[in-house]
């Protein structure tokens, strides 16, 4: 088995473009965590390229090993900060579906500036999505969920379309699985890009 580090692309602050076959459908799991969602998505859609990104290289190493054991060859693993990836590394209108699942909600008032979801991020996601592409978001924090609904609700280029993730609702992140086992809810929403 090859060293798992050979399978992880580390995108530095220097400009690097992510190279993917143009004929393939691309899905981006932004902040993949332990990667259960990415792995199951890759199993469900072997004809698609699943791009799993995280800032924690240890998580990505474990994910590479798991996918090697499962003989999955339709995954890309990238260690990169989300803003750098979206600003410099992904072509516009190239991604079919972007998943941001259970990001840190930064629940304290003083930590709100650290939240990933903002109007600037939403604009950047729309730029990277294909026309009719899908943004999928989940969180266990009801306030963060409502805040996200409000932010995206102001964006003219997105239309709420939760039914567009019905094909993957059975796929859970490790965090969501644990949360559900405790009888707690994780909120999901999806939006379709309806204009450029």
Kindly report, residue by residue over 127-148, the tens digit of the pLDDT. Answer: 999 999 999 999 998 988 999 9
Residue 107 has pLDDT above 90, yes or no: no
DSSP letter for 143, please: H
Sheet holding 8-10, edge to edge: 8-10, 75-79, 48-54, 25-30, 95-101, 129-139, 187-193, 158-160
Please report the domains of the chain, with CATH numbers, ordered by start residue: 4-8+22-193 (3.40.50.150)
Looking at residue 13, what is its pLDDT? 52
Dump pLDDT digits (tens) for 42-71: 999 999 999 999 989 999 999 999 999 999
For the question of residue 104 being annotated catalytic, the response is: yes
Give the chain's mean pLDDT.
88
Looking at residue 116, what is its pLDDT? 66
Residue predicted with more confidence, 189 or 89: 189
Q: Which of 92, 104, 167, 174 is catalytic?
A: 104
What phi and psi, each to the nearest 5 degrees, are found at residue 39?
-65, -50
């Amino acid at each position: 088995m090859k060293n798992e580090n050979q399978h992880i692309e580390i995108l530095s602050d220097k400009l690097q473009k992510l190279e993917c076959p143009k004929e393939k459908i691309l899905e981006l799991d932004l902040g993949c965590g332990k990667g259960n969602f990415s792995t199951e998505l890759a199993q469900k859609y072997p004809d698609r390229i699943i791009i799993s990104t995280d800032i924690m290289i240890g998580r990505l190493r474990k994910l590479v090993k798991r996918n090697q054991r499962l003989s999955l060859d339709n995954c890309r693993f990238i260690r990169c900060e989300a803003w750098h990836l979206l600003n410099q590394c992904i072509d516009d209108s190239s991604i079919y579906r972007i998943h941001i699942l259970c990001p840190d909600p930064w629940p304290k008032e003083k930590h709100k500036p650290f939240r990933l979801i903002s109007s600037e991020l939403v604009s950047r996601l729309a730029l990277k999505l294909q026309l009719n592409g899908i943004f999928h978001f989940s969180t266990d924090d009801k306030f963060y969920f409502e805040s996200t609904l409000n932010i995206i609700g102001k964006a003219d280029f997105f239309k709420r379309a939760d039914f567009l993730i019905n094909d993957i609702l059975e796929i859970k992140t490790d965090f969501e699985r644990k949360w559900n086992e405790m009888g707690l809810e994780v909120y999901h929403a999806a939006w379709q890009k309806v204009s450029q």
